[in-house]
Structure 1
């Protein structure tokens, strides 16, 4: 199916621009000559140095404007829309993490509910061509039917994080219905890659290895009924978003939701073994994690598995980067960025 290509004459607002997906999307847009307004509160949920490192790669672009601010601050958002009048908004700012939501619920309500409400209100009062926003595969809860399809029942979230993402979809639908705001929600499935989020398992496992710590695997050590995850490489995620930006819904209620996943779930243990191999190649030494098996955590689900038929039909795209390739790129970046696993310059003898 044909789709409209990116329009570089429009103004793009990317919230969460210092974040993992926000950075890569901003860079992709800027590389194509687009004007990008980025906003991020650069909080310390994880290493702020990594967030600053991402921003440092965006600052040289002439078309990039960065605002340090919180989407939960309505005045900040209103002023931003009033001044820059974005044509397309991509809301990626959110408090992420399933387990963290159990310990720190307040921040999820602030960022994911109030923050998103502020974005919707701004889109209402300063009309936009398209609002694209991050939902999550977590909305499927403990659904047993796989692959997950957009039409599946999603009223049983098992974490507050999932609840906030389901709430975002409901709020966006309502605003699309009432005010005809064209909106598209994207249910992301375990996004990974270089410069990724340190709170994600693959990153945490790597950190633990280089700090001589064991890795914790929350599957009870049950290899027969191991956890399955649909791991989706960052470049695929960004390509999917990019293709959707100029293709807003045109239905009577202009609101759509799509899965963005790899449509190829892997056993967690296979993913871990592949990461070990990729790190071994990147460091030129054998990497084997010391593994500790623990019970599955509250809020975690046994499997995530995306049907990507709807996305492929809409914009002729489906993610397909194999994890061997994606994890090797992550491993190479990690070793270079953190300067680990290689002899230091002063130790090299000639």
Structure 2
């Protein structure tokens, strides 16, 4: 298949591009290589893809409607996986316009490209952040998600709504994937694993928010990639049992689906720090802090729909995943 992966220089995008390339798909990756975090890390990820002759990279911004239109016309993709987005919950509080340009305008350009070239299946990254102020856990795709607590979350919920409208109007099959706290080698520098590991190795205190009373459904990168690949291969169909009087938000009368991809096993923040300490053989100095604006105390994914429809459940343990991450960190940053 000919597959477009947007955000190909990103954490998940690089790993997914490699998975598709390894199995023989022709992969076209795009990324705008913005400086939200270290651009050299993005170039290093792309270098991992150089050995695949069936991978091609183009520097392109999702908000460039002319460029995106030309890209779709040139390649006539069999699948599109949209991972490119302005990431980060906290950054959205400071720079809201960046999220509208990338996550809303950019996603519209992807939808239009899929529509006009009749792409058979669009898969796109949503986020566990859409659950916002919800308290009932595990979070299910069938729950209402109308109370986001950050603009980032609102932009991801908007993507789901936009996708549904295109599934309805143009019969474009779309699948949204709500990722739960992805971590692992080649991860983002603004995420907790990288921040904690760097702080501990540099003998600097690490910030522990909400005084440690937090839990996350940490999901290892390989599990995320496997889930995305399987979801990409499964084109959604209209649900014959969908009821407009009792609407199920995870599916529809048109070819539309939403899935959680999470480990279904929340880890307490202090246990997560403990896993890093064990992998490093070093104890962290901890700065206990209040809850950050736009954050939530805990997340947990109900993955029963993912298991039912694509036959996969993430299961990498936190200590194993952290051990692999720390080994990579030490090698990449030459940190001892």
TM-score w.r.t. structure 2 length?
0.95
**Structure 1 residue 211, shift from structure 2 partner:** 2.8
SS of aligned partner of 1:328? helix
Please name the residue that 1:76 is paired with: 67
Spell out, residue by residue over 1:195-251, the C-alpha distance to the aligned partner (whole angstroms, 9 max, x if none). 111111111111222333210111135xxxx11100000000000011111211111
Work out which of the residue numbers 249, 260, 266 in structure 1 matches 2:236.
249
Please name the residue that 1:264 is paired with: 265
Please name the residue that 1:190 is paired with: 181
Residue 44 in 1 paired to residue 31 in 2? Answer: no
**Structure 1 residue 33, shift from structure 2 partner:** 1.1
Q: How does 1:1-350 map to 2 (within 5 A)?
A: 10-221=1-212, 226-251=213-238, 252-280=253-281, 287-341=282-336
Please name the residue that 2:243 is paired with: none
Spell out, residue by residue over 1:320-345, the C-alpha distance to the aligned partner (whole angstroms, 9 max, x if none). 0000110000000001111111xxxx
| CA distance in structure 2 between the aligned counterparts of 1:109 and 1:181, rounded to whole angstroms | 23
**Structure 1 residue 60, shift from structure 2 partner:** 2.2
Provide structure 2 residue ranges, at least 5 long, that are not aligned to the other structure.
239-252
Check the 8 A contact 1:38/1:65 in 2, yes or no: yes
SS of aligned partner of 1:220? helix
Check the 8 A contact 1:142/1:302 in 2, yes or no: no
| CA distance in structure 2 between the aligned counterparts of 1:172 and 1:59, rounded to whole angstroms | 32
| CA distance in structure 2 between the aligned counterparts of 1:97 and 1:177, rounded to whole angstroms | 30
Runs of 4+ in 1 over 3 A off after TM superposition: none
**Greater Rg by CA:** 1
Q: Greater shift after overlay, 234-243 or 246-255?
A: 246-255
TM-score w.r.t. structure 1 length?
0.91
| CA distance in structure 2 between the aligned counterparts of 1:266 and 1:206, rounded to whole angstroms | 17
Aligned length: 322
| CA distance in structure 2 between the aligned counterparts of 1:39 and 1:276, rounded to whole angstroms | 36
What's the C-alpha RMSD, in Å, of the aligned pairs? Answer: 0.8
**Structure 1 residue 72, shift from structure 2 partner:** 0.8
Spell out, residue by residue over 1:99-156, the C-alpha distance to the aligned partner (whole angstroms, 9 max, x if none). 0000111100000000000000111101111100000000000211000000101000
| CA distance in structure 1 between the aligned counterparts of 2:52 and 2:193, rounded to whole angstroms | 31
Provide structure 1 residue ranges, at least 5 long, that are not aligned to the other structure.
1-9, 281-286, 342-350
